[in-house]
Amino acid sequence: MSRVSPEFGRLIKDLLARNGLTFRGAGLKSGISAAYWKDMSDGRVPSEDMIEKITRAFEDVDENELRAAAGYALVPGKADAVKAVEFALRGHQNIPEEGKKQILDFVKKIEAKYQTKD
């Protein structure tokens, strides 16, 4: 864990708060040490394997949201179209924020139009 992502740290803090867990409690539930949870809450980015381990331990975690915040590629079969496009647009500095918003609005509109009912 050498890279740091404030967004990743925020997601970990939110996960712990949502589940009412301390670092130690999260460690007991996941098999990941309390010290490692502390590092992740500070924004230190873990390996992709560790992100998978977190998502297996907590049903309320979006793996791709953690992966995006950590700077990893999304898992295609688990990717929400809007989140995938948001992730792709992050690296495009030449597209203004208003243009990014228009693209996302379009994707949302198309997704709603073709969404299948389960």
pTM over 0.85: no
| 3-state secondary structure at position 91 | coil
Domains of the chain: 1-72 (1.10.260.40), 80-118 (no CATH)
Question: Digits of tens for pLDDT over the chain (118 positions)?
Answer: 579 999 999 999 999 999 999 999 999 999 999 999 999 999 999 999 999 999 999 998 989 989 989 999 888 777 677 877 877 787 788 999 999 999 999 998 988 888 765 5
What tokens were used for 44? 């230190």
Identify the pLDDT of residue 73.
Answer: 86
At 8, list the tokens. 């990743």
Let me know if 11 is exposed, middle or buried by CB neighbors in 10 A (0-12, 13-18, 19+). buried
pLDDT score for 20: 97
